[in-house]
């Protein structure tokens, strides 16, 4: 179960065992026993589609899918039906923000409702965070969240495809690039490299890695990307972020990309 603001999201059992009536009874019990949950939903599909969304079934409480979610002292308006959101990236948001140095320019290629971008703006002292998402609903929520957290002078929400945005206006501007959408990381990696300044910079690459027994997922992830980045680049850090399926992990590689001169 995930808690997003005052919404509880029950993950339906993969192998069955609970029907909708069972889930509704569980949902009503959650509302009775907690003071902070106002709405309970169950996932009704896996994450899918261009915007990486699930469908949900309302079980009990207020029938609304939007809420105010708080993380690391920041507040975010989110809608679970319209934008991807998971509290399981809480640690990653803080970890990446702690690495951003004063005066950096950051490009977030897949920003969603703006959590990574805004937490960086609030916790570090970047010069600018270009915060891109192709989902119009996410873009509109991002604009609201930038205002909600008073970081209008740092975070610039941009609606569009990250590859096109970088090619048209963000070529060679970034000290750091975030790629928090594993499904597109390898395809969009060449564009992330183009966003970096000529002297190079850091790219945070999130990947889904299938790791059968005996396979190191971090080593496999590095082997997957190392031939696609400039010679002289080096792996700064790698970590397992979270499981996403049977023997499937989300991992992150922090890569220092060598400059062109």
Number of domains in the chain: 2
Cβ neighbors of 161 (< 8 A, separation 6 or more) are 134
Parent domain of 191: 84-258
Residue 232 backbone zone (phi > 0: left; psi -120 to 50: alpha; other: beta): left
Confidence of residue 12 (pLDDT cuts 50, 70, 90): low
Q: What is the pLDDT of residue 47?
A: 81
pTM of this structure: 0.93
Question: Looking at the predicted structure, is the pLDDT value of residue 14 above 50?
Answer: no
**13, containing H or E segment:** none
Q: pLDDT tens-digit profile of 69-119?
A: 999 999 999 999 999 999 999 999 999 999 999 999 999 999 999 999 999
Q: pLDDT tens-digit profile of 174-227?
A: 999 999 999 999 999 999 999 999 999 999 999 999 989 889 999 999 999 999
- For residues 28 and 119, membership in a common domain is answered with no
- For residues 149 and 44, membership in a common domain is answered with no
Query: Cα(148)–Cα(160) distance, rounded to whole angstroms?
Result: 22
Residue among 179, 9, 190 nearest 109 (CA): 179
- For residues 110 and 234, membership in a common domain is answered with yes
Residue 244 backbone zone (phi > 0: left; psi -120 to 50: alpha; other: beta): alpha
Kindly provide the residue ranges of all beta strands, DSSP E only, lying in 36-116, ordered along the sequence: 39-43, 56-61, 66-71, 74-79, 105-108
């Amino acid at each position: 179960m995930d808690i997003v603001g005052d919404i509880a999201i029950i993950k339906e059992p993969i192998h069955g065992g609970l029907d909708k009536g069972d889930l509704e009874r569980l949902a009503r019990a959650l509302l009775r026993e907690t003071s902070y949950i106002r709405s309970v939903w169950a996932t009704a599909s896996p994450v899918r589609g261009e915007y990486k969304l699930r469908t949900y079934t309302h079980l009990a409480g207020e029938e609304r899918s939007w809420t105010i979610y708080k993380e690391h002292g920041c507040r975010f308006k989110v809608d679970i039906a319209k934008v991807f959101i998971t509290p399981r990236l809480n640690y990653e948001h803080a970890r990446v923000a702690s690495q951003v140095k004063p005066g950096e320019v950051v490009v977030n290629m897949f920003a969603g409702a703006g959590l990574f971008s805004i937490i960086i703006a609030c916790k570090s002292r970047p010069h600018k965070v270009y915060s891109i998402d192709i989902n119009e609903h996410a873009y509109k929520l991002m604009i609201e969240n930038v205002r909600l957290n008073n970081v209008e002078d740092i975070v610039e929400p941009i609606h569009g495809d990250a590859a096109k945005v970088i090619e048209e206006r963000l070529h060679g501007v970034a000290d750091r690039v975030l790629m928090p959408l594993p499904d597109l990381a390898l395809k969009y990696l060449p564009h992330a490299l183009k966003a970096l300044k000529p002297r190079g910079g850091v790219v945070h690459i999130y990947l889904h890695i299938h790791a059968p027994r005996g396979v190191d997922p971090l080593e496999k992830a590095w082997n997957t990307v190392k031939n696609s980045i400039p010679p002289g680049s080096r792996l700064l850090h790698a970590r397992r972020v979270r499981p996403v399926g049977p023997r499937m992990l989300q991992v992150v590689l922090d890569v220092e990309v060598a400059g062109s001169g």
